[in-house]
Structure 1
């Protein structure tokens, strides 16, 4: 993808915006800090959203690697090795992945390097794991809608980045419909849950509910507490269960799928657990090879209230050959520029 040229005022806006965000959290970004704080993670989420909207990956990565969390010379003082995924300064274990493909975040192949018009975003912050989750919905992005789930993990002792991984979905991915996702997400309410509220659950309870959801795919004896409105946003469609008179949501499940490679972000304050997983059998063209997937749950009073999914495929519409979508037109190998090539290559190399 050819990136549009930017006037000098555009870069000046980037510099001032990111400097303001990072300088506001200089204390929390100090590597000598003894613990990972919520304010540190929230500042990183804000930096990420701003950087993605401007397509300025270099400035964002530089700000993460700066010893005091300050942004200096944005976009000009970060270099990457050509032979592998690791930065060659400050954070040698830093890994960046999109749909399980290891990339340099500052390369032309990185979605982070592309400016995206963001219509909606939501973040969660996990101080135990020193990790954050952000959902981006870009339905009105000119010519290329996206729904992106991003998980960022940091060292709790140094606050240096350990991993940034994204499930980047667009046309042809599982039930993809950014406009539908945006419309449904805007109808939901995910407020902070007060500390003494009966709706608030513990860290362990929230994570256990996310695990129960995925465990149910392989074990019919697992119970998954789920309440109204009994809808999950899958791709961009509202997948509805059966809501009983007692307020229990009954879903239909398979019982033979083992879902591996679970990575978590848990936030008790907003009742959220996001789980990055590998989902076997999602892309029919790939057999049982697990596909990159993220599920973010809103939990209230020990039950699922909301659920959003983002799932990436290799073949267009996950190799369903039109049987699900009702049309065979345009099926087959996806062709959305560089991303089609990257995905196909990833599975041949066995990055999972």
Structure 2
């Protein structure tokens, strides 16, 4: 297990996500890699300013995209409420975030407004629908990018983590596969914050939590996906999500990342292997691969995520969270903090949340 403290890992996951988001702000959504290289060179190693006519034009190097803005909003709510409070989160969206949008893609804080947020804004503000009726079927990682803070907050409470991430995701995205994969990502991140490694044993540990009822995935097989026990009924193993498959790919990807017969060189070409677009089934595998391959090297993990082109902002944000949870804040190069806008404020928020997780763990340990 990593030697880093729980507080260091939790803070590293949150700050790592903010750094990944800001690093990809300039070169965001280049599907033409030749054009990406023409605009930013063969290797992007730091924060960059978006070019005119691009998705975040007018912003400056080191600033947060809208994904970073929403992650901060979520983090502020978690700190204020000492945990996830849906009513508080929704109130913040209604009063501080939605008033800044007009429902169009190219307007809003942080530049581009994602599809699921535009749909939620139209239903909530335009049609006056209540929360619970404004989600859309976008297949992106938009919810995962903010709920990663919830996963960090409840890392030591896997059942609460799954419930809170599920509920928050359903506010803006209602596709069952998207929700399942988002909850799975949160569960993985929570385990890394606990101190578990992203390796070939992780999926077995996740499945053990399915069997215990902590994770709401349906599973009828026994250990190592063996046949069901004689006499076991569906009702004994049913979960909210139809199968545990979203929890099984991480160990296979981790195995591939260290298998000498399977090499993706350079590692940024993982985007070509798993796909450059925005959908969850492209983004999560690439993030898992980079985080497993560079488990002790935050810089390499996040920069290869950025340099892969396409939806590199989501890839870098998710990779940054996973990598930061493994290296801890202490393993993140200082230059990434120096160039990050509002770094002191973000670090203060992340530290406050991380300290509360640490205190919660200590209280639980003393109660036993």
- TM-score category (smaller protein): under 0.3
- The structure carrying a bigger strand percent of its residues is 1
Q: TM-score, normalised by structure 1?
A: 0.25
- The structure carrying a bigger helix percent of its residues is 2
Q: TM-score, normalised by structure 2?
A: 0.25
| Structure of greater relative contact order (alpha carbons < 8 Å, 6+ residues apart) | 2
